[in-house]
Structure 1
Amino acid sequence: MRPHPVVPRREHLSAAGLSPGVLVTNSARVPVESFAEYAVSASLMLLKDFPTLSERPQNRPWYASSALMLHGSTVLVVGAGRIGRAVIRRLAALGAHCVAVTRTGAVQVAGADRAVGVAGLVEAAANADHIVCCLPDAPGTANLLDKDVLAALPPHAVLVNVGRASTVDDTALHEALRSRALRGAFLDVHRVEPLPPDDPAWTVPNLVVSPHCAFAFPGAPAAVGQAFLDNLSDLRADRLPRDLVTVHRDKEVT
């Protein structure tokens, strides 16, 4: 078998002492559709006021609703990797106008009305209705959704994060929700997990805390096993594994 000069890109792999020539694969493709369904469901939950319905169904006037439409709205999808693209496909099918946010905005994303770079994120937020974050934990993504971005969003906006917790400034988000500068937020990821009982997130109004389960679906374990077998088959056939984890410094990071 020919040598494969591949470098693992995840910091924890380097910390494990793996040499640069070690092939590393993952099963990141397995939960993509589940993540996308969860993100869109979370958006609809907030827009259709479902949390309020479940908390006080007998204490609100009949016919009263503050529901908003996803159809016709503009949604920023921050991070247009596999999960982000799957989210875009679903949002577009529901009639939303999607703006994909990538590192430079130079690469058009299928299904999105347009792409913008992170340098234009604040301006894009000011012209958007809602935001879905699908970002990885990578250089340049820490607190990318910060106070300025959140302040630029309109008060009717909802924020959904199924990416990494480090990408959203929690303090700024809590302040925005407490001051009603945003309609609501749904976080499936948290900086400390499980989320401690005394974490301030539990008391923030209109913040839905999800226990990091966007990836879950009944067939997941079997699908992960199949991904392993697929990559093993590739190696045995002297092919690069289809789920190879590599460094792509010259590529658009999405």
Structure 2
Amino acid sequence: MSRRYRLPAGRADVDGDETMTTRVPAVSKVQAVVMYPPAMEESDLYELHRRFPGVQFHNIGYFEPHGLRDAKAKGRVTEEVLATAPPLTEQERETIADAELLMALDLPHGIREWAPRLRWVQAIGAGIGQLEPAKLKAEGIALTNAAGVASTPIAEFVIGRLLEVWKDIRVLERQQRSHIWEMHQGLLVKGKTMGIVGLGAIGRDVARRARAFEMTILANRRSAQPGDTDPDADELFGPEGLDEMLSRSDAVVLCAPHTPETIDLFDAQRLRRLKPGAVLVNVGRGSMIDEAALVSSLESGHLGAAVLDVTREEPLPADSPLWDAPNMYLSPHCSTASEGYNEALMELFCDNLERFLAEEPLRNVVDPDRGY
């Protein structure tokens, strides 16, 4: 993985100058701490300092274990779990306490109390539950996520998995291992219908790639009203049209974020609404699916296959029924790609930093009331 971020050029001002020099106060530097990536090269920090001369950057790696991150996201933090947090030196705590902005995957416990100058947190991913957005909002701290940064590799992953299912690649692999030369053909993708739940950055990129295979695209979006259209969908449905969309789709791709409304959205009743033989793909959040009902649907043959890159509990326990469910395609939350991620993330961060310094609206601001 390349660790060179190739910082993007600044947004041009009216006079054509692409630097931020004229926008940054010269008297007192803004303090910024980059907590992720954990270790940046000196040349990368130098480029940030050069690009934003009015900002003092610090790199303090902070990466919590999965159990602590998951407990924070689910509101189940205990003293025992907190004890697993990586330690910070006194100097590191003082540097973070003086920061006005942070870029981070995780935040140290209680940071809102001991970092009184903090005004903005740039998350490095789309998921922000572990950052406790409601509590940040209550302290007047802006939170922006990295929605869209990983949409391209995730969309590629979705299409790759669907081709694996419809072209029956597993059978061909078994035949190769057994030295069997026997004709086995898959299905035609052209003309199939894809239903997308959540037409955000990921859903939109999935739709565009599916269209290259001449598929019909149906999309569901929470804010859609009757009669609304979208350039990336042949038909657009609001919440009331979800079941109709499911009944017409050969593949249903879940790209929606975790919200109170999406928890168990696909329970046993809704799974029965899917077209017989359909493929269900989840690259959104594991909480969207009732996993026991999903296994039953696969065992009954109603559902043709399931592609899960996310599960309710991660890591997935070794005794989970999901492992051995028929026509199950599991992966350990890895549908994104490290290649190009840091570059895209830094591009977003630099754009938002320009906006922050110029007191302009930030991109990807999280609304805790919506959950994303």
TM-score (norm 1): 0.86
Structure 1 217/71 Cα, relative in aligned 2: closer, same or farther at 3 Å? Answer: farther
The residue aligned with 1:122 is 243
The answer to which of 53-62 and 31-40 deviates more is: 53-62
Alignment of 1:234 onto 2:355: yes
Cα distance between partner residues in 2 of 1:15 and 1:76 = 32
Amino acid at match of 1:161: N
The residue aligned with 1:45 is 164
Structure 1: runs of 5 or more not aligned: none
The residue aligned with 1:193 is 314
The answer to which of 14-23 and 231-240 deviates more is: 14-23
Alignment of 1:222 onto 2:338: no
The one of 236, 261, 266 aligned to 1:140: 261
Cα distance between partner residues in 2 of 1:237 and 1:152 = 50
Amino acid at match of 1:233: E
TM-score (norm 2): 0.60
The residue aligned with 1:178 is 299
The answer as to whether partners of 2:136 and 2:142 remain within 8 angstroms in 1 is: no
The residue aligned with 1:71 is 190
Structure 1 102/234 Cα, relative in aligned 2: closer, same or farther at 3 Å? Answer: same
Tell me by how many angstroms 1:210 deviates: 0.7
Q: Deviations over 1:117-158 (max 9, x none)?
A: 222222322222221111110121111122233222233211
- State the structure with more CA Rg: 2
Structure 1 109/204 Cα, relative in aligned 2: closer, same or farther at 3 Å? Answer: same
Identity %: 36
Cα distance between partner residues in 2 of 1:15 and 1:103 = 21
Cα distance between partner residues in 1 of 2:160 and 2:191 = 17
The residue aligned with 1:152 is 273
Amino acid at match of 1:108: T
- SS of aligned partner of 1:99: strand
Amino acid at match of 1:62: E
Q: Deviations over 1:151-190 (max 9, x none)?
A: 2223321111111111122111111111111221110001
- SS of aligned partner of 1:159: strand
Structure 2: runs of 5 or more not aligned: 1-23, 25-118, 121-127
Count residues with an aligned counterpart. 246
Structure 1 77/17 Cα, relative in aligned 2: closer, same or farther at 3 Å? Answer: closer
Q: Which has the higher contact order (CA 8 A, sep 6+)?
A: 1
Structure 1 14/124 Cα, relative in aligned 2: closer, same or farther at 3 Å? Answer: closer
Alignment of 1:30 onto 2:159: no
